[in-house]
Chains A and B, each alone.
Chain A
Amino acid sequence: MTTTNVSVDRGTDGRRGPLTWWRDPWRKPRGLLLITLLYVAWSLAPVLIAVMFSFNAG
């Protein structure tokens, strides 16, 4: 694994701003994570909801 030194601008409280976070080339892929979680929920929720409420409603 290769690591890169990235100059990170931090505020007085040590937290990174959104621009710095965006420019960080090694930031965590939160967008991909969000899409994946939304997809998993979308793929399973309709069946689970239908089983819980509709299919058993007679």
Chain B
Amino acid sequence: MADRAKAPATRWLWPLLALPGTAWMAVFFVAPMYVVFAILFGAVDPILRQPIPVWNPFSWDVSQFGFVLEHITGADGFFGPALMRTVGYVAVASVLCLLIAYPVAYYTARFAGRWRGLLLAALIAPFWISYMMRMLAWVNLLQTDGLVNRTLSVGGLFDVHPSWLSGRPSTVVLGLVYGYVPYMILPLFAGLDRIPAATLEAARDLGASRFETFRRVTWPLSRQAVVVSVLVTTLPMLGDYFTNDLLSGSPETSMVGNLINNSVLTPGQTGQAGAFVVLILLVSIVPMVIYVRAGRSGADVKS
């Protein structure tokens, strides 16, 4: 009876708590996304080459989206290489980020002891410095007469002058890894910190080796944190353009973010930028589904 009396009072509690977040998403995600669709499927002013958004979905014109799709593959597929490059760079950078971030987060969560606070401060320190400043630091270091080349040539003893900033994929991947590793470490740290130490000690007491303990206990328990951290870094990487602009600037290494930036800056091609945004959205749905499935299986285990 008491539960029944409480029910009407709490009935609106959860919807009310969800209201601010829902309103935020509606204003700052759904509405801007609708503007992108209205421009993508809209028209272009024939004289000024400005986009004319079409708000009525029944009047949408798919020609701009079709133009982008037609030029991804085939003889005229000049958008294809940039899209494939984006997938390649982001995949390699994400794997490298995980290989760096996981041990660092694991050590900080489990073994740092009294240095834990200081170590966490050092791990958070990159957040205090703007992303652009961090990339500009690498631009200075990687110049032809920069510190990296001076170190490699041992003060002029050897003739080592690689041009790191003239369209090298390795430099772009380095920039992506350097820029996004801190974003991966924190969610991983939060996930690994929550693993009960008793489970690991039990595995070791029962005869599991270090590798077996990691494979059978640590990795399964941290899998959801890994998925979250990979998502948190991979999705921004997909739309990143300034890392490439600063560390390469060459069309040989341009990614889909650069295509979007170039399309927005070119009169009459804003709709194409919208098409690339939609393509990124479609690609990013796959990891989102994986994340939701991982979260659901985690809930099943808890229940």
Residues of A within 8 A of B (CB): 1-2, 4, 25, 28-29, 31-33, 35-36, 39-40, 42-44, 46-47, 49-51, 53-55
Contacts and interface: CB of A to CB of B under 8 A. Distances in A.
Contacts of A32: 103, 106-107, 111
A44 to B, nearest CB: 6
Nearest to B106: A32
Interface residues of B, number: 31
A2 B202 CA distance: 8
B3 to A, nearest CB: 43
Contacts of B146: 54
B219 to A, nearest CB: 15
Contacts of B137: 46-47, 49-51, 54-55
B75 interface: no
Contacts of B86: none
Given A25-B210, A33-B111, A44-B125, A39 B104 contact: yes
Contact of B181 (A4, A28, A43, A55): A43
A42 B103 CA distance: 15
Contacts of B126: 43-44
B2 interface: no
18 contacts: A1-B201, A2-B201, A2-B202, A25-B210, A32-B107, A33-B107, A33-B111, A35-B107, A42-B178, A43-B126, A43-B178, A46-B141, A49-B137, A49-B141, A51-B137, A53-B147, A54-B141, A55-B137
B16 interface: no
A19 B140 CA distance: 44
A41 B76 CA distance: 46
A27 B125 CA distance: 30
Nearest to B207: A25
A39 B108 CA distance: 12
B1 interface: no
Nearest to B209: A25
Given A46-B141, A49-B141, A36 B147 contact: no
A25 B207 CA distance: 10
